[in-house]
Amino acid sequence: MQQNIVMYAGNSGREGFYDVTELSNGTFLVCGYAENLNWINTSVPKTQLTYSGSIPNALGSNRYGIIL
Amino acid sequence: MKNILQVVHFPQGAVEDIRFIKSTNMPYAATGDLFISCNTSDIDANNGGYLIARLDKNFLNGIPTSLSWFNVVWAKGYAKAVHPWDVTNQGEVYYVSGESHGYDWSAMYCLNSQGKRRPVSNWRTHWLKNGTEWKGTPASANPFGQIDSVNYSGIVFKITGRCELRSWNMADFSSVQSDGNGGTRKGKWPADFLFNSPCDPQNPSANSPGYTGYSPEACCPVWGLAVLQLIEGIIMYTWE
């Protein structure tokens, strides 16, 4: 069954939400970017991903790639 | 969004975004492994374009804290705009690197579950471990006679100098079959209709128009891929 969900998030900075997927426990993942994470309540756990190696993004715009 | 449960993010500036998120499970099944793609911005020489990564956890068996692996993909044009990739239920990723309607390169590759490009037996272009390129099927029929001699395989979306997506002999080129829309089409391979002969991979030719009267676009030797999706193990792709 298709389910429509409308959500609002962010602050005066730029954000974009590009893709959504439902987990089998009924919660949703939303991915995208944000210029800052200040709009996320301090009570929400935040985990910064680690990785081995170098990602080429020298011409990037200093954003955060995010999953909510 | 009133109830954000978790936030997982890259270090600031590491990537431009997280553009897609896909899983290894079928719809309505338990969530499997999660894979993402992210836009990157860098010069061609540094392989700017996008990256594909596997998350170490799927939010049900734990909150992701790291990338199990990531693969940097040079991409421009269609490949940059739509990230043509998908993941199988075995955690293998099919993806396209390169440009569209250009002069350089575009090809599909397959990553194994460890994020490394792998051989695909019935694809037609194989890069061998000795650094040479061999065209044919199956991959194990290469001059060294073993699949272990193949580093990885690809489907190259170029018109000139290549014979991908085209028949390699007259019997295949001349065959007439259903077009799936109630009519018929000539040629076993999808690009045959643009050319006036089969293509010999040892001496490639690309003379047009084909029997339809159509020719490839005049500008560029690279087609580029627009859409890629895996459906129950079948690769569905659209090239333009």
Letter string b/e over residues B76-95, b meaning 16 or more CB atoms within 10 A of that residue's CB: bbbbbebbbbbbeeebbbbb
Exposed/middle/buried for residue A51 (C-beta within 10 Å: 0-12, 13-18, 19+): middle
Answer yes or no: do B10 and A64 touch at CB < 8 A: yes
B50 forms beta bridges with B39, B73
> Among partner residues A7, A53, A63, which is closest to B1 by beta-carbon distance?
A7
Nearest to B222 by CA among B119, B77, B120: B77
Measure the CA–CA gap between A34 and A67, rounded to whole angstroms. Answer: 10
Per-domain boundaries in chain A = 15-67
Nearest to B139 by CA among B130, B150, B151: B150
Q: Measuring CA to CA, how many Å separate B205 from each of B163, B167, B198, B200, B201?
A: 8, 12, 8, 7, 9
Instruction: Show residues of chain A in contact with B15, CB under 8 Å.
Output: 55, 57, 60, 63, 65
Tell me whether 0.95 is exceeded by the ipTM: no
Nearest to A18 by CA among B22, B59, B32, B65: B22
- Which amino acid type is present at position B2? K
> Among partner residues B5, B6, B21, which is closest to A31 by beta-carbon distance?
B21
A17 forms beta bridges with A32
- Segment 19-48 of chain B within 8 Å of chain A by CB: 19-23, 25, 29-31, 34, 36, 38, 40-43, 46-48
Bridge-based pairing state of the strands B7-9 and B20-23: unpaired
Nearest to B154 by CA among B162, B168, B146, B234: B162
Measure the CA–CA gap between B197 and B79, rounded to whole angstroms. Answer: 29
How many C-beta atoms surround the C-beta of residue B234 within 10 A?
7
pLDDT by position in tens, chain B (length 240)? 668 999 999 999 999 999 999 999 988 899 999 999 999 999 999 999 999 999 999 999 999 999 999 999 999 998 999 999 999 999 999 999 999 888 999 999 999 999 999 999 999 999 999 999 999 999 999 999 899 999 999 999 998 889 999 999 999 999 999 988 899 999 999 899 999 999 999 999 999 999 999 998 888 888 766 666 776 667 776 766
Answer yes or no: do A60 and B12 touch at CB < 8 A: no
Answer yes or no: do A37 and B9 touch at CB < 8 A: yes
